[in-house]
């Protein structure tokens, strides 16, 4: 592979919109293990939140995908590969990036924090309602409370 071809492939990998329109690979080999990547990502994305039992699996998958991406990029940077091999590696990297984006953008993974945030919001709404109902809300009617309490 010529050096300018290598630079083109690396630029394509680093491009901000590289994953737009890219597909997640059906199957990928990571650390010698074949994974049905597309099925895994769609299975996880179908859920609103990642259940506690699945969080570790998702985090492990993201870590492995990042490692695999780095290794494939290093092959393009330093490896003695053909243009075709470089193209295949680039397509795989873009697909891995697409999978990582999907996994990174999952809904809340910490159910306790989500519940706590929802309870806090409910309390705030309830307090605002009580203030308005009792006439203690200075912004609701444009009038201000008197200085005495």
Cβ proximity of 73 and 13 under 8 Å:
yes
Asked whether residue 141 carries a pLDDT value surpassing 70, the answer given is no
Tens-digit pLDDT profile for residues 63-91:
999 999 999 999 999 878 899 999 999 99
Tens-digit pLDDT profile for residues 93-111:
999 998 888 888 775 545 5
The answer to whether the predicted template modeling score (pTM) of the entire model surpasses 0.85 is: no
Domain ranges of the chain: 3-109, 110-140
By percentage, how much of the chain surpasses pLDDT 90?
17
Length of the chain equals 149
Calculate the alpha carbon distances from 137 to 20, 124, 126, 131, 145 in Å.
Answer: 48, 13, 13, 5, 8
Asked whether residue 116 carries a pLDDT value surpassing 50, the answer given is yes
CA distance 103 to 84: 29
């Amino acid at each position: 592979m010529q050096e300018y071809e290598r630079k083109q492939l690396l630029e394509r990998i680093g491009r901000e919109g590289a994953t737009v329109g890219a597909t997640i690979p059906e199957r990928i080999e990571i650390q010698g293990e074949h994974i049905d990547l597309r099925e895994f990502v769609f299975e996880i994305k179908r859920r609103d939140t990642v259940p506690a039992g699945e969080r570790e699996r998702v985090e492990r998958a993201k870590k492995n995908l990042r490692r695999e991406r780095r290794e494939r990029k290093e092959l393009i940077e330093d490896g003695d590969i053909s243009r075709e091999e470089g193209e295949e590696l680039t397509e795989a990297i873009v697909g891995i990036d697409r999978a990582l984006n999907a996994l990174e953008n999952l809904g809340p993974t910490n159910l306790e924090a989500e519940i706590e945030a929802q309870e806090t919001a409910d309390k705030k709404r309830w307090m605002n309602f009580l203030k308005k109902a009792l006439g203690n809300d200075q912004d609701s009617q444009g009038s201000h409370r008197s200085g005495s309490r």
